[in-house]
Structure 1
Amino acid sequence: MAAEQEQRQEYKDDSDVFQRNALLLIDKMVEMASLIQEDTSELVDEILHSIFFMGEITVPEFSPRQLFVDDVDMFDYLKETYPEPFTLYSSRLPRRSPFSCVLDMVVHLEGQEHEDNIRETLQELVQELKRDTSKNVLYSTTICISAGNSADPVRHYGVSMSTTGRPAGQILVAASCLNFWEEHVADAVMSYYPKKSRKTYFDVNIQLPADVRCEAFNIRSREAISPCLSCKNMFGLVTTKEQVWPYGNCAEAESLSNLVSEEEVRQRVQRNGNWTEENQGRAKRAVENHLRNELKKVGFEWDNQFYTAQRAIAENDGEEEPLPE
């Protein structure tokens, strides 16, 4: 009886944190979008779907209506302005984790060249999300910054997976491999995913040019973090660390995916191992099969499509929709 009560209390505590952090992130995204001259409504749309999906697979479940139970005006405003996430969160998969959308919004807000401002803004946000809880719910702990070389003014950012627990992490790493990350990076992750042992039939990694900058930092403390052994195995990063984190969870994957998407850098990346189109197809099928199994565990009925972010209806109509008071 005592164990059951403790478990129920833990579920309640987790639910309270999930709801608080979800609402805080959504509110921050709407606020930041209003401060940016260019149209970033697709990022608001995307994070709504990603968070609603996370609520769908969490225990206990959290529907959009339950999230906004104390703020009906905001619920109505968001549903009218961003209708797709409210209808497709229970059938389509997000392509990435919620905090990845937050990162993109912050980069738009501060400007990609203002590295210190981006890190400071994320630090302040994470400190607010972390308040009064020991669990990392809906936010990342690490940011990675990469560039074509030390003199390159263009930075490429990435954050670690903002998920709690195995099912969500496994699902979103698979989704990113199949529909978000650049092919070279996705292939390196798929060489291991979902295990920590390398596939013999698809033993693929990449070697970055020697002058590429790739640095990771703790978001809260802002201290530099050495690459883990997983990132060394996938991307050839130099490290003395022996820690092997789940492949694809680290911030380096997203940051390097953005970097290698640049044609000039990609041409200088060396792909090692037994890569063939046939082997790649086999690895993708293995990832998708594992993804389907993970989705079955959480009772998610996937329609075989990944969610595509939409612009706000008010923006498309050329009208400005006032935020609820």
Structure 2
Amino acid sequence: MQNGPPVHQREMVDLVRHEEAEVQYFVQSGNRFLKIIQSFIAKSVREEKLTQKKGRACFKEVLHKILFCGHINIPVINPEEMLDHREIQLLSEKYPDVFQKYNTHLPKRPPYAVLLDAVVKITGTNINEVLKCLTDLNYQMLVKFTGTSSNKLGNTFPSEVISCCCLWDVTTRGKTDNYFGTLLSLRGRQQKEIMIDILCCQTWHQYISLGVSIYKTFNKTPGSQHDLPSAVQPYSSHESSSYKSCSDMIYINNSPYFEFGICPECECLSQLLYTNQQVVEKLECLDIGILMYFEEVTNSNHERLKQNLKSLGFNVGYHLEFYDPNE
């Protein structure tokens, strides 16, 4: 079954809704987001805190993601609406691949995650320094909106939540670097589903993706955990268990829409697992049988991703292609 309105219905919606506040908020927030990041990156390159190559790739990735988000928005928001004519001309000449691929190649992570990654590279992994820098950037990014819907719809792209994790060795009393994650900062159920499935299929560590995907597949509503594989049954203090399950990690506040709000934790834990192989090796000993579900849930993610993209008019080829800002 196709999710969302058919493409021809969506085109009618586009004609009717382009003057609504939601579109104006998206455009203003996206435009402001791009300008502040462009200024921040340029300053960091001048001060030699970022290499020119890294700065260029960072801005290209953010630009691609903003244009991609506009393309899958309801109604569609084209680059010409996000940027003025002069900006379009300059940026398309400087980064032609971004404008060629924003509607054919998928991003690998949300826009704010790119900024967070750059901030960590510039400031280091000290929590206070990272938060200080992000707080200053967020303040600059905020666009003041008016009206009763301004709090709900305004400032689409800045994130208000950052998660952090690290490993602590109780024997040596030493710790690893801090690893950071951020919210999706996207609006619309289909749009959020698209980014969640991209993260699960392409970006997050296999175990994090598996935890999110299995709980999405086997627990559609609160209280239906009986359908979960035994390996990921939620942990209870009355049960004997040597670890906290994936579902317990991602099921927050008894909300059936966990997958739309828990990305900061998943993102930072994914980075921790990628960097610390010894943790992954210990997890492998817990229940190897759970990996038999990985192919099934991955296929489910791919299918939902393709259906959502098609229903929003995205050019889905035989194989999903992802944008690489370093090309």
Q: TM-score range by the shorter chain?
A: 0.7 to 0.9
Match of 2:272 in 1: 259
Paired letter, 1:21: S
Q: 2:207 aligns with which of 184, 194, 206?
A: 184
Would you say the 8 A contact 1:93–1:302 is kept in 2?
Answer: no
Instruction: State the SS of the aligned residue for 1:261.
Output: helix
Relative to the length of structure 2, the TM-score reads: 0.74
**Does the CA contact (< 8 Å) of 1:99 and 1:138 recur in 2?**
yes
| Mapping 1:1-325, distance limit 5 Å | 12-34=20-42, 35=44, 36-38=49-51, 39-40=53-54, 41-69=56-84, 72-112=85-125, 114-127=126-139, 128-129=141-142, 131-132=144-145, 133-134=150-151, 135=153, 137-149=156-168, 151-193=174-216, 195-196=220-221, 200=227, 205=232, 234=246, 236-237=248-249, 241-247=253-259, 249-250=261-262, 251-262=264-275, 263-269=277-283, 271-272=286-287, 274-277=289-292, 279-303=293-317, 304-311=319-326
Q: Is the 8 A contact 2:193 2:260 kept in 1?
A: no
Q: Distance in 2 between matches of 1:192 and 1:11?
A: 39
Greater share of residues in helix: 2
Gaps of 5+ in 2: 1-14, 235-243
**Offset, 1:129:** 2.5
Distance, in Å, in 2 between the alignment partners of 1:199 and 1:11 is: 47
Question: 2:211 and 2:93 mapped to 1: Cα distance?
Answer: 40
Consecutive unaligned residues in structure 1, runs of 5 or more: 1-6, 208-231, 313-325
Contact 1:202 1:273 in 2 (8 A): no
AA in 2 matched with 1:269? L
Q: Give the superposition deviation at 1:156.
A: 0.6
Secondary structure of the corresponding residue to residue 295 of structure 2 = helix
Deviations 1:205-262 (A, max 9, x none): 599xxxxxxxxxxxxxxxxxxxxxxxx7526549994445432631101111111112
Query: Aligned equivalents of 1:109 and 1:75: distance in 2?
Result: 28
Higher gyration radius (CA): 2
Cα distance in structure 1, aligned partners of 2:41 and 2:176 = 25
**Can you list the C-alpha shifts for 1:185-219, whole angstroms capped at 9, x where unaligned?**
01111102364566947666599xxxxxxxxxxxx
How big is the shift at 1:101?
A: 1.1
Normalising to structure 1: TM-score of the pair?
0.75
Q: How many residues are aligned here?
A: 278
Distance in 2, matches of 1:241 and 1:175, equals 24
CA distance in 2, matches of 1:198, 1:168: 26
Higher strand fraction: Structure 1 or Structure 2?
A: 1
Distance 1:305 1:293, change over 3 A: closer
Following TM superposition, by how much is the alpha carbon of 1:168 offset from its aligned partner in structure 2, in angstroms?
0.7
Contact 1:51 1:98 in 2 (8 A): yes
